[in-house]
A and B are shown apart, each in its own frame.
Chain A
Amino acid sequence: DGGITQSPKYLFRKEGQNVTLSCEQNLNHDAMYWYRQDPGQGLRLIYYSQIVNDFQKGDIAEGYSVSREKKESFPLTVTSAQKNPTAFYLCASSMSSGRQYFGPGTRLTVT
């Protein structure tokens, strides 16, 4: 069954803790992306990676970190430096810079 998986679906953390969100794809896509969505808003790009062992900052990278050690995996760490981490996080992948496919998302709540 091909696609993009994100886990967990819901995540709760205390303020001051780092948390890592998982994103895995078996579509053999080269590029992977992380977006953040706040209620009633569009998507904003956090980080993206076009090839293994390489990634670039998006528009709102501060307080986040990523790694791309394997083609199929692109985990996102929300650090304690992120001032407003509560949001819906979406992972996507694509071949090169083409059509994007999204995972089901992770809803993170930090209290």
Chain B
Amino acid sequence: GIQVEQSPPDLILQEGANSTLRCNFSDSVNNLQWFHQNPWGQLINLFYIPSGTKQNGRLSATTVATERYSLLYISSSQTTDSGVYFCAVKGMDTNAGKSTFGDGTTLTVKP
């Protein structure tokens, strides 16, 4: 099946700093999503981005499907951005319902 690798595994920032999280995947995808999991376990869908670039406030994401990677940018980070960021993909050759999640990037933003 498709492999998903996220980097870095851990990231510690001072409030106000910018960061880039990366998601590499091993095969063509028709669906890519970025999620934020808060310390209580709730997952929030940040972006549905199988290709191209999207922005939502201080967050933006870019997926380059031909090169099999996606980037999540966080600008002017805040302590509330802390948590785990997951990338999830669905390969072209898998059943429509099967998403594969990466192991996540744990972000800690210090005040």
Contact = CB atoms under 8 A, between A and B. Distances in A.
Nearest to B86: A42
A41 interface: yes
A100 B33 contact: yes
B98 A48 contact: yes
Given A88-B41, A97-B31, A104-B41, A45 B48 contact: no
A37 B103 CA distance: 10
B83 interface: no
Contacts of A41: 103
Contact of A98 (B40, B48, B101): B48
Query: What is the interface of chain A mostly: helix, strand, loop, or mixed?
Result: strand
Nearest to A33: B97
Contacts of B31: 97-98
Interface string B43-58: 1110010000000000
Contacts of B104: 42
B37 to A, nearest CB: 9
A99 B99 CA distance: 11
A99 B41 CA distance: 19
Interface of A: 31, 33, 35, 37, 41-45, 48-50, 56, 58-59, 88, 90, 92, 96-102, 104-105, 107
Given A33-B99, A92-B43, 15 more contacts: A31-B96, A33-B97, A35-B101, A42-B101, A42-B104, A43-B86, A44-B101, A45-B98, A50-B97, A56-B95, A59-B1, A98-B48, A99-B48, A102-B43, A104-B41
